[in-house]
Structure 1
Amino acid sequence: MDLRQIRYFVAACEEGSLSAAAVRLNCTAPGVSQQMTALEGRLGTSLFERTPRGVTPTPAGRRFYDRCLAVLKAVSEAEIEIEDFKAGLCGSVSAGFAPGVAKAILPQALARFTREFPRVDLEISSGSADALVSATSSGTLDFFVGQFAKAHIGLSANPIGRYPVALISGVRRGFMPMKPLRLDSVAPLKLVLPSAANSLRPKIEEAIQGGAIAVERTILMDNLPAGLEFVSQTDWSWILPYWLCLKELGNERVTVNPIVDPTLRVDVALIFPAQRPLSRPSQLLYDYFCQELQRTESEWQRIMAGALSSS
């Protein structure tokens, strides 16, 4: 057994297809098939159930997959350690961030990182959770910070935290800025809803169905800049994470209101390939991001405390 067989096996498990594994590894499908047959012969057991649609690990294959991940992670850690030792902190980071945190949190973390580590090349992506999770799974991204709607084979998700949200409305709606609101006791809202991939969406819908949020009309919106501009020109409202609300406090065309009830939170996680740990540059960029996230949360809590004490 060699590392090539282990890499082929892990790719086949995660892709669910020998041909897809071949594309991912830039080799031929017959080559992958031959190596998997040889590996099963060496181990004396079947690792895959083969169907016309692809392959799925057998119980033995799933157990072997976990062991292979540990091997690949150990090899990757050793390579990273040697690279850092030889060259100091350099290299590259390719990371994805959900649009909200990319707009409100990431710039400050990036400014610090690029100033302190000029030898590290950066490639930053933002977009839908599905697209960024897929890019992380394929290895295009080193990690993704955002929402993780469902388990994805080959990826690890470390929860970062659960964070408060607030209501942003056009000034035509008539809310007093920063007045805490109970959404079941205000006149029905015209409410912008996030896409189904957003972890906040089912929580909002559950609150609407349970009567905790009164709504007159809803609209689905995925584009953050367009949605904020739409709200600012109308009497519509949007429930958004606190970090976006902070950015809009100086916008005279909208009002921001803390939500007292219902209690809603948005989940954020670090998502990365299970077989490959974060490189030192990636880890540092992630650490700087988390520090900025913590700083803005403390600022929001301070503003919230003042709003609640004066209400």
Structure 2
Amino acid sequence: MRNIKTQQLRYFVAVYNVGSITAAAHQVNATQSGVSMQIREFEDRVGMPLFERNSAGVVPTKMGDLVYRRAIRVLREMDELQNDVSAHRGHLVGSVRAGIMPTFARSVLGPTLMEFSEKFPYVDVQISEGYSETLTRRVADEELDFAVVPAGPLPVGIRSSHVDTDLELLVESNLDGKATDGFTHLATAPPLNLVLPGTGNARRKGIDQYLENTCQSKHAILQLDSMMTTFDLLERGNYASILPGCLCISKFDDPKAKLSPIRDPILTVDYLLIEPETRAKSTATSAFGELLCHMIRKSCADVRERFSVA
């Protein structure tokens, strides 16, 4: 197989991941005809068909599966080679496109940006805030270099690594600011008006299972994908919510908020760093990702210590 182009490998991987030449063309900013031509030329060089075409799109052949596993390694190695060269040109430069959930936008993101910008002033950091479903799609489309999301199903073309485990907390308002009698046990609590994220949020499945299998009461649910409005409702009273501990650190010493770990059993959320399978992180992206993950781990440790959970 001589003279295989890097572009052909990238187009092939994009088509494999999305199962459609048209969708892949949109992802790589090329024309449908251009991608189709490059895929056929690639197949000619390989000497075997890599996809079966049908009205719904394309399906990889067994040879296509084999070539895909090799192709993603080749592309990653090429990215790493470019990163190695760039890393020896003096100051760390480049750009970082990171996806952040509201959980971290409200807690660890500010300190992370301040420390990172002081250490690496020539790196351009671009932050996109969103919920897990949106961030995962944007990573798969290579619009983001990485994102940190709750653990859940991931599409083809994304690799992940575990960051840390956080506690889910029941958050209620305590408008009069008076001392409360210990924690609220969600399993035995009377009916509550719960504000929960939409079903596209990776945390929602675990929360629904807990409410269905463990809780004695039937709680009313308001579905809301807006963290600012969720906190607004909590502060007005009559509503409660189930939120990650890292999101609630600023409320630990707020007398108008009551925070209760969800126990019997403990409800947790795992955080994953996800990134495109074929892309190696640049030196700048690695530096920012490592600092962000360090801040997240520190916050998770603070939450576990606060509620005496090892």
Question: How high is the TM-score relative to the length of structure 1?
Answer: 0.91
Corresponding residue for residue 8 of structure 2: 5
1-side partners of 2:221 and 2:264: how far apart? Answer: 19
Question: In structure 2, do the counterparts of structure 1 residues 206 and 19 end up closer, same or farther at CA, with 3 Å as the change threshold?
Answer: closer
Q: 1:223, CA displacement in angstroms?
A: 0.5
Corresponding residue for residue 123 of structure 1: 126
2-side partners of 1:77 and 1:83: how far apart? Answer: 10
Contact 2:183 2:260 in 1 (8 A): yes
Helix, strand or coil for the counterpart of 1:118?
coil
Give the counterpart letter for 2:196 in structure 1. L
Identity %, equivalent residues: 29
Q: 1:174, CA displacement in angstroms?
A: 9.6
Contact 2:136 2:154 in 1 (8 A): no
Q: RMSD of the alignment, in Å?
A: 2.2
Q: 1:231, CA displacement in angstroms?
A: 1.2
Contact 2:22 2:32 in 1 (8 A): yes
Contact 2:173 2:258 in 1 (8 A): yes
Question: How high is the TM-score relative to the length of structure 2?
Answer: 0.91
Contact 1:172 1:235 in 2 (8 A): no
Corresponding residue for residue 46 of structure 2: 43
2-side partners of 1:218 and 1:26: how far apart? Answer: 41
Equivalent of 2:100 in 97, 101, 119: 97
Give the counterpart letter for 1:242 in structure 2. G
Contact 1:178 1:255 in 2 (8 A): no
Helix, strand or coil for the counterpart of 1:113?
helix
Give aligned pairs, total: 306
Structure 1: runs of 5 or more not aligned: none
Corresponding residue for residue 212 of structure 1: 215
Q: 1:303, CA displacement in angstroms?
A: 2.2
Mapping of 1:259-274 within 5 angstroms? Answer: 259-274=262-277
Q: 1:175, CA displacement in angstroms?
A: 9.3
Q: 1:177, CA displacement in angstroms?
A: 4.7
Contact 1:180 1:259 in 2 (8 A): no
Corresponding residue for residue 133 of structure 1: 136
Question: In structure 2, do the counterparts of structure 1 residues 119 and 296 end up closer, same or farther at CA, with 3 Å as the change threshold?
Answer: same
Question: In structure 2, do the counterparts of structure 1 residues 115 and 16 end up closer, same or farther at CA, with 3 Å as the change threshold?
Answer: same
Corresponding residue for residue 78 of structure 1: 81
Equivalent of 1:171 in 167, 171, 174: 174
Q: 1:251, CA displacement in angstroms?
A: 3.1
Contact 2:164 2:297 in 1 (8 A): no
Q: 1:219, CA displacement in angstroms?
A: 1.1
Give the counterpart letter for 1:95 in structure 2. A
Q: 1:250, CA displacement in angstroms?
A: 3.5
Contact 1:50 1:56 in 2 (8 A): yes
Question: In structure 2, do the counterparts of structure 1 residues 170 and 131 end up closer, same or farther at CA, with 3 Å as the change threshold?
Answer: same
Equivalent of 1:154 in 154, 157, 160: 157
Residue 194 of structure 1 pairs with residue 197 of structure 2 = yes
Corresponding residue for residue 188 of structure 2: 185
2-side partners of 1:302 and 1:207: how far apart? Answer: 23
1-side partners of 2:172 and 2:191: how far apart? Answer: 13
1-side partners of 2:64 and 2:229: how far apart? Answer: 47
Helix, strand or coil for the counterpart of 2:263?
strand
Residue 14 of structure 1 pairs with residue 21 of structure 2 = no
